[in-house]
Structure 1
Amino acid sequence: MMKPEASVYSHFTKCFQNTCISKPVSHKSSNSDKESDDAKTTPHVPSDLYKTTATVPRKPGGWKAMPFILGNDTFERLATFGLLANFMVYLTRELHLNQVSASNIIYIWSGLSNFAPLLGAFVSDACVGRFRTIAFGSFSLLLGMATLTITAWLPKLHPPPCSSDQLKLGQCLPPNKAQLGFLILGLGFLTIGAGGIRSCSIPFGVDQFDPNTDEGKKGIKSFFNWYYATFTVVLLITSTLVVYIQDKISWSLGFGIPTLLMCGSIVLLFIGARIYVHAKPQGSMFTYIAQVFVAAHKKRQLKLLDDKETDRSQFYDPPVKDLLVQKLPLTNQVRFLNKAAIILDNDLKPDGSRVNKWRLCSVQQVEELKCVIKTMPIWASAIVSFTAMTQQGTFTVSQALRLNRHLGQKFEIPAGSLIVFSLITIGIFLPIYDRVLVPALRKITKDEGGITILQRIGIGIVFLSPGNGRSRFH
């Protein structure tokens, strides 16, 4: 039995595992055996919706592909984070932009880069597949990084240097339109690259394992562990070594090294091309979502019966042929969407398939959309945390430039390396939380994890909010 306080998070995780825990709509039936039989066999068998997720081939793949996929992903993150970890300093010191202008450029680029994966996912699922999307994104990313490296290397692409006193007094020449345009061109390529890589890197790794086997399930878990372990290592390296090279040696070298790493990332990606499992595109989830809304709107005049009067046969509920997808039962949450699955005259062909996908949707489509809707509050609450995280690369760096960062007489901590203290804090707190707080909380809450993940998110937001408010006074 799921505890009440965990219900929202359970919907979030279960729905994305295609195992929705909502209570299904009850149907007329004289006995439970008949209900189970009806659930297994339905008169409407589709020929157009739930096709098997064909892959070519299913073997090899697995861990044989992981060195290439994780290597590609690690080099890509080393490149992008290494390029942008100290970007605020580059914009203010080398391009002589003021703090507000530099922050706006970073925020706009960050926002577009986080929106682009939605488009990348659509293109990948509907047209070209994940491997080609990642390959295209990698080349685009390389172009963007090479462009930014050139801006630091060629004197004509950035303003003439000036002294620190002139910089403080605002007497340095700002970049002209051509210089700023070349910079924005590079960021545009980076945005396109982010849309291709971020949308597909994790799903492409998961594609290499068969979730229907115990070995495949263990492989997927291990893949996530390795993915986030390399992510942490990348942050440490880019926040220390790469930032130090940019700050103390040369910006062109500091940008050039990540660009070369991106070249290595592309090479690794293509070396393993024959090993990968290539899942064929099966259509975009955004199209399926739109179909449900359109079909429900077209049938908005229909009246839904009460639970006791509901007849299962009025809904288009074909069996799911894809072995990787679990069947979802019809629920009464967001009930108006159920109209999209009501069968009317001339909605079905003689073979049981749909005449118009934009007029009739399956119960599975409707319930998958409901699962997405249930995640919206969690997504919205995450805006607070991402606002704080984004500021670490802008205003936190700007404030650090005004601090005395010397350790002794010779060494000075680069402003862009202050994020390391956040990583160190996390590294110290996690063992304390796991070994001290969780056992103590488990005795009180009787929850295996001490507190639910939803509660952890809420506590994090509570601490972030005053921190964000306090930062505006600096």
Structure 2
Amino acid sequence: MAEEVNFTKDGTVDYKSQPANKKKTGTWKACLFILGNQFCERLAYYGMSSNLLLYFTNQLNQHRTNFVMPLVGAFLADAYLGRYWTIASLSIIYLIGMTLLTLSASIPGLRPTCHKKDVCDATGYQTTVCLVALYLVALGTGGIKPCVSSYGADQFDDADEVEKGRKSSFFNWLYFCINIGAVIGSSFLVWIQVNIGWAWGFGVPTIAVAVSVAFFLLGTQLYRYQKPGGSPLTRVSQVVMASLRKYHVKVPEDRSILYETQDAESLIVGSRKLEHTEEFRFFDKAAVEIPSDHTDNSNSINPWRLCTVTQVEELKGIVRLLPVWATCIIFNTVFGQMWTLFLLQAEYMDIRLGKSGFKIPEASLSTFDHLGVILWIPIYDRFIVPIARKFTGHKNGLTQLQRIGAGLFISIFAMISAAILEIFRLRIVKKHNMRNVKTPPISVFWQVPQYFIIGCAEVFTNIGRIEFFYEEAPDSLRSLCSALSLSTAALGSYLSSLLVTIVMDISTRSGKEGWISDNLNCGHLHYFFLLLAVLSAVNLAVFVLVAKRYTHKRAVGTLR
């Protein structure tokens, strides 16, 4: 009995596929390697991507590139490879891509021929090599992103209340390390690209990726591993198909007679059994056993006709997450303004640092947001959580849904702050009759409050969302649900573009200048920021309703 206490109860194993020993594996001793990996990887990513548009425009004469890969990596991790091998293999692909990108910017023949600074001609071959490198980078970084947070959380035993209580801090410090790396990458490495050259500008991030891979592999013997559960798409399809086939079957009042395995473990490898819930009862039909469910009149079950309660609840769990997921899209629309309209606003402000004449690279302005996150995470973890715990009685101070809601509320003030600054800027323009002057005498540092407020909102909403989707996802779908959570960033960006298109179409009718004018001094950018503030307030109200009605996942027992 004493020996059993030394092993995890959530089904994790060690690198030899033996039950994971709590004293020798997992917790912070394993997570330190994951945090180091993410610090280096994010440093490399932001160092490479912050100025990528400039490289595409000036060096390759290209104008757009887009990568969406998180769902691929998440599917591989949950279904077949497991999180460790997904991260390890895609990190190698990431490193190959970064190496090829560095070579394409440094080796004669692969490097575009430049007549003078930022005036270059790239051949089709040179462009192709660069694009191949970027697609490899996209596959690598996009694929590992949803797996890393889940893999780090796997190092804490869900069945151990002490270890489970430390998991929330892990998400905080993971985000902290990510933003430390982002600050260095989007400032120092951007400076290298602008002032030294693209060869070193891409070379240093490549070295950082190599170090990140080394960090991850060094922790191999300390990690805990979750076994992959097979294709989640197949299991979900089986529930949907079985439910449709039994649309005429009535679900019994006694839910205990719904089909489930008698063993302590679930039929899904690496997943605990889930208790039945009353929502989405149509899918319960898939777990109602009838004679035709058996194959060839034998005792074997046709999985496309009969599914376990756990399998049904797995699908319900995904459906329950969707309303929460949807309410995070508006937040990411606000978040995305840092790389769009905040930068446009900054173009009409003084970007010089004091009287030194040093100009802050526009690609580095998001550093203010990262600094805000770095400031707020220790405050949240060390001060807000203990204080909130006294009022709520919750071990983490705030529940994950409360934390997300707090961030949604705070994000409203980021847009109000940006709108107030724009009103103030336009008044100076009007007062000094400077409509045709692009940089009136107002410092870009007045943007710092709006960046810091978004940083604070991130600490609440983004970290809370990552933790929430991990905790509420079925055990065998955690990477996939993390990828679903991350997809709100892309959708927030698309929504922002859609809103801009609609606003410009309406506001420019009858020959009017429009809210977002080619000359911002003649526009009304503050109206757009206030529109986002109103949409954020409505979104918050919807989120509160969703959160009140949310039914939490209830796992049954342990896996060992």
- Whether the aligned pair in 2 keeps the contact of 1:61 and 1:209 (CA below 8 Å) is no
> Which residue is equivalent to 1:337?
283
- Whether the aligned pair in 1 keeps the contact of 2:179 and 2:374 (CA below 8 Å) is no
1:216 to 163, 174, 185: 163
Query: Secondary structure at 1:125's aligned position in 2?
Result: helix
Displacement of 1:454 after TM fit?
Answer: 5.2
- Whether the aligned pair in 2 keeps the contact of 1:141 and 1:193 (CA below 8 Å) is yes
> Which residue is equivalent to 2:75?
122
Query: Secondary structure at 1:198's aligned position in 2?
Result: helix
Query: Secondary structure at 1:336's aligned position in 2?
Result: helix
2:87 to 99, 120, 134: 134
Amino acid at match of 1:452: Q
> Which residue is equivalent to 1:459?
409
Displacement of 1:426 after TM fit?
Answer: 5.4
In structure 2, relative to structure 1, the CA distance for the partners of 1:379 and 1:320 (3 Å cut) is farther
- Whether the aligned pair in 1 keeps the contact of 2:105 and 2:112 (CA below 8 Å) is no
Query: Secondary structure at 2:113's aligned position in 1?
Result: coil
Displacement of 1:316 after TM fit?
Answer: 0.5
Greater mean deviation of Cα atoms: 60-69 or 367-376: 60-69
In structure 2, relative to structure 1, the CA distance for the partners of 1:335 and 1:354 (3 Å cut) is farther
Q: TM-score, normalised by structure 2?
A: 0.61
- Whether the aligned pair in 2 keeps the contact of 1:137 and 1:195 (CA below 8 Å) is no
> Which residue is equivalent to 1:228?
175
**2:41 is the alignment partner of 1:76:** yes
Query: Secondary structure at 1:282's aligned position in 2?
Result: coil
In structure 2, relative to structure 1, the CA distance for the partners of 1:182 and 1:325 (3 Å cut) is closer
Deviations 1:109-134 (A, max 9, x none): 2xx1xxx2222222222222222111
**2:309 is the alignment partner of 1:366:** no
Greater mean deviation of Cα atoms: 251-260 or 459-468: 459-468
* Alpha-carbon distance in structure 1 between the residues aligned to 2:343 and 2:60: 16
Query: Secondary structure at 2:304's aligned position in 1?
Result: coil
In structure 2, relative to structure 1, the CA distance for the partners of 1:193 and 1:332 (3 Å cut) is same
In structure 2, relative to structure 1, the CA distance for the partners of 1:389 and 1:319 (3 Å cut) is farther
- Whether the aligned pair in 2 keeps the contact of 1:320 and 1:327 (CA below 8 Å) is no
> Which residue is equivalent to 1:36?
none
> Which residue is equivalent to 2:512?
none
- Whether the aligned pair in 2 keeps the contact of 1:53 and 1:322 (CA below 8 Å) is no
Amino acid at match of 2:168: K
- Whether the aligned pair in 1 keeps the contact of 2:12 and 2:225 (CA below 8 Å) is no
1:266 to 178, 190, 213: 213
In structure 2, relative to structure 1, the CA distance for the partners of 1:326 and 1:374 (3 Å cut) is same
**2:227 is the alignment partner of 1:280:** yes
> Which residue is equivalent to 2:423?
none
In structure 2, relative to structure 1, the CA distance for the partners of 1:463 and 1:294 (3 Å cut) is farther
- Whether the aligned pair in 1 keeps the contact of 2:343 and 2:362 (CA below 8 Å) is yes
* Alpha-carbon distance in structure 2 between the residues aligned to 1:88 and 1:312: 56
> Which residue is equivalent to 1:160?
113
1:206 to 124, 128, 153: 153
Note the 1:382-393 alignment, pairs <5 A: 382-390=328-336, 392-393=338-339
In structure 2, relative to structure 1, the CA distance for the partners of 1:270 and 1:461 (3 Å cut) is closer
Q: TM-score, normalised by structure 1?
A: 0.71
Deviations 1:167-201 (A, max 9, x none): 7xxxx556443232222211210122124311321
* Alpha-carbon distance in structure 2 between the residues aligned to 1:390 and 1:134: 27
- Whether the aligned pair in 2 keeps the contact of 1:53 and 1:280 (CA below 8 Å) is yes
In structure 2, relative to structure 1, the CA distance for the partners of 1:428 and 1:70 (3 Å cut) is closer
* Alpha-carbon distance in structure 2 between the residues aligned to 1:176 and 1:161: 12
In structure 2, relative to structure 1, the CA distance for the partners of 1:383 and 1:287 (3 Å cut) is same
Deviations 1:215-259 (A, max 9, x none): 422442342232122112112211221111122222211211110
Note the 1:51-450 alignment, pairs <5 A: 55=14, 56-57=17-18, 58-59=20-21, 60-62=24-26, 63-97=28-62, 101=63, 104-105=64-65, 108-109=66-67, 112=68, 116-161=69-114, 172=119, 175-304=122-251, 310-312=253-255, 314-318=257-261, 321-322=264-265, 327-347=273-293, 355-390=301-336, 392-393=338-339, 404-407=350-353, 408-425=355-372
Query: Secondary structure at 1:279's aligned position in 2?
Result: coil
Displacement of 1:326 after TM fit?
Answer: 6.1
* Alpha-carbon distance in structure 2 between the residues aligned to 1:78 and 1:127: 29
- Whether the aligned pair in 1 keeps the contact of 2:251 and 2:288 (CA below 8 Å) is no
RMSD: 3.7
In structure 2, relative to structure 1, the CA distance for the partners of 1:403 and 1:189 (3 Å cut) is farther
Query: Secondary structure at 2:307's aligned position in 1?
Result: coil
Query: Secondary structure at 1:70's aligned position in 2?
Result: helix
* Alpha-carbon distance in structure 1 between the residues aligned to 2:348 and 2:415: 24
Query: Secondary structure at 1:412's aligned position in 2?
Result: coil
In structure 2, relative to structure 1, the CA distance for the partners of 1:152 and 1:384 (3 Å cut) is farther
- Whether the aligned pair in 2 keeps the contact of 1:79 and 1:262 (CA below 8 Å) is yes
- Whether the aligned pair in 2 keeps the contact of 1:52 and 1:321 (CA below 8 Å) is no
> Which residue is equivalent to 2:432?
none
**Unaligned ranges ≥5, structure 1:** 1-50
* Alpha-carbon distance in structure 1 between the residues aligned to 2:54 and 2:343: 7
- Whether the aligned pair in 2 keeps the contact of 1:86 and 1:393 (CA below 8 Å) is no
* Alpha-carbon distance in structure 2 between the residues aligned to 1:411 and 1:318: 68
Amino acid at match of 1:278: Y
Query: Secondary structure at 1:161's aligned position in 2?
Result: strand
- Whether the aligned pair in 1 keeps the contact of 2:59 and 2:121 (CA below 8 Å) is no
> Which residue is equivalent to 2:545?
none
Percent identity between the aligned chains?
32
* Alpha-carbon distance in structure 1 between the residues aligned to 2:282 and 2:336: 38
In structure 2, relative to structure 1, the CA distance for the partners of 1:299 and 1:260 (3 Å cut) is same
Amino acid at match of 1:315: L
In structure 2, relative to structure 1, the CA distance for the partners of 1:189 and 1:353 (3 Å cut) is farther
Query: Secondary structure at 2:146's aligned position in 1?
Result: coil
Amino acid at match of 1:93: N
Query: Secondary structure at 1:212's aligned position in 2?
Result: coil
